[in-house]
């Protein structure tokens, strides 16, 4: 069973940075693509970023391109999301998910990011 534990969220100032982590278990991590998605308060889901299994190919939503960086450590079964130049509209619950047939398999509770002065 896919288990994903997101951490690293918190309160950041506009223009600030955070690094989110997602520890994975229950599946073969090093052959799985991974996503980050988010959900702003009272809003729908938004895809944020994807990283392929090998860690070299990375893709981003236009809303975060140039500000967020996805990475992974296959030795630690962990995927990361570095958030920089944060804006109030980045306030959301951030979920990581396993890629499965170009869909999302969620396995954690998410981590809350709040951008506020």
- Residue where the block lists tokens 């999302």: 104
What is the total residue count of the chain? 117
The bridge status of strand 45-51 relative to strand 58-60 is antiparallel
> Which of 19, 61, 67, 74 forms a contact with other proteins (CB under 8 A)?
61
Using CB under 8 A as the binding rule, whether residue 35 contacts other proteins is answered as yes
Using CB under 8 A as the binding rule, whether residue 105 contacts other proteins is answered as yes
Structure tokens at 19: 């690094």
Structure tokens at 31: 């052959």
Region near other proteins per CB under 8 A, out of 9-17, 67-75, 80-88, 97-105: 97-105
* Nearest-angstrom CA–CA distance, 9 and 4: 15
Tell me whether residue 102 or residue 117 sits nearer to other proteins (CB atom): 102
Using CB under 8 A as the binding rule, whether residue 53 contacts other proteins is answered as no
- Residue where the block lists tokens 């450590």: 73
Region near other proteins per CB under 8 A, out of 8-16, 19-27, 74-82, 104-112: 104-112
Q: How far is the CB of 101 from other proteins (least distance, A)?
A: 4
């Amino acid at each position: 069973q896919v288990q994903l534990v997101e951490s690293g969220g918190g309160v950041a100032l506009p223009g600030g940075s955070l690094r989110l982590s997602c520890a994975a278990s229950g599946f073969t991590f090093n052959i799985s693509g991974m996503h980050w998605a988010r959900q702003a308060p009272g809003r729908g889901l938004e895809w944020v970023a994807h990283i392929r299994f090998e860690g070299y190919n990375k893709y981003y939503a236009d809303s975060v391109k140039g500000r967020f960086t996805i990475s992974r450590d296959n030795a630690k079964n962990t995927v990361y999301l570095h958030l920089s130049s944060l804006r109030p509209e980045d306030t959301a619950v951030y979920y990581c998910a396993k890629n499965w047939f170009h869909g999302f398999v969620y396995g954690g509770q998410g981590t809350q990011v709040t951008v506020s002065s």
